[in-house]
Amino acid sequence: MTEKEKMLSGMKYNALDKDLIAELNIVKDKLMQYNHIPPTRLDERKALIKQILGKTGERVFINQPFYCDYGKHIEVGDGFFANFNLTILDEAMVRIGKECFIGPNVSIYTACHSTNPTERNTRQEWAKPVTIGDNCWLGGNVVILPGVTIGDNVTIGAGSVVTRDIPSDCVAVGNPCKKIKDIL
């Protein structure tokens, strides 16, 4: 298997693989371009973000700056809105449903690293996908950790760190993030 195939399958892979680094650099160039398009040139921004991301709905708006690793492992639904400084480390798939709102400074991580420094220093890592359902709102400064699934119709309170799955139809807050009330 290639290092990319290992990465996408959740196996340990070499993060310093030359082919992976080359892909990362291509996306970094596109992100630099995207982040420097004047904000009023909406059609140009929309066209470039559709090149960067793997799949998008029609109504997608991502405020600059935006950061990701591969881009093509990210899918967002129709009506997606992200505020400033969205960061998505998409070594695994990140799927975000329709009509989702993302507050400023939100980070979504799929990359995992060993807590053992000797292992970590080998640059071997693995990745776990993140899924966010339809009609969700992530408040400012939310962090979503690898492997998390968030159901439909969920509000995650500002500053929360989501370490485990959150069920549909609720408000969840805190570090670690927990459901505090049902909605609907």
Each residue's pLDDT tens digit, 78-101: 999 999 999 999 999 999 999 999
Q: Which of 113, 128, 178, 179 is catalytic?
A: 113
- Which sign does the torsion angle of CA 20, 25, 26, 31 carry? positive
What value does the mean pLDDT of the chain take? Answer: 97
Confidence (pLDDT) at 184: 73
36 is catalytic: no
What is the residue extent of each domain of the chain? Answer: 3-182
Which residue, 90, 128, 179, 100, is CA-closest to 11? 128
| pTM assigned to the model | 0.96
The residues that bridge with 127 in the sheet, in sequence order, are 111
CB 148 within 8 A of CB 164: yes
pLDDT in tens, 27-78: 999 999 999 999 999 999 999 999 999 999 999 999 999 999 999 999 999 9
Average pLDDT over residues 119-124: 93
The CA distances from residue 25 to 16, 69, 137, in Å, are 12, 9, 31
For residue 172, what are its two tokens? Answer: 């969840």
CATH number for 3-182 (one of 3.30.1330.10, 1.10.10.10, 3.40.980.10, 2.160.10.10): it is: 2.160.10.10
Rounded to 5°, angle at Cα 123 from 30 and 64: 25
pLDDT classification of 18: cutoffs 50, 70, 90: very high
Confidence (pLDDT) at 14: 96
- Percentage above 90 pLDDT, the chain: 99
Q: In what order do the strands lie in the sheet with 161-162?
A: 66-68, 86-89, 107-109, 143-144, 161-162
User: Would you state the torsion angle of the CA atoms of residues 129, 103, 83, 90, taken in this order, to the nearest 10 degrees?
Assistant: -10
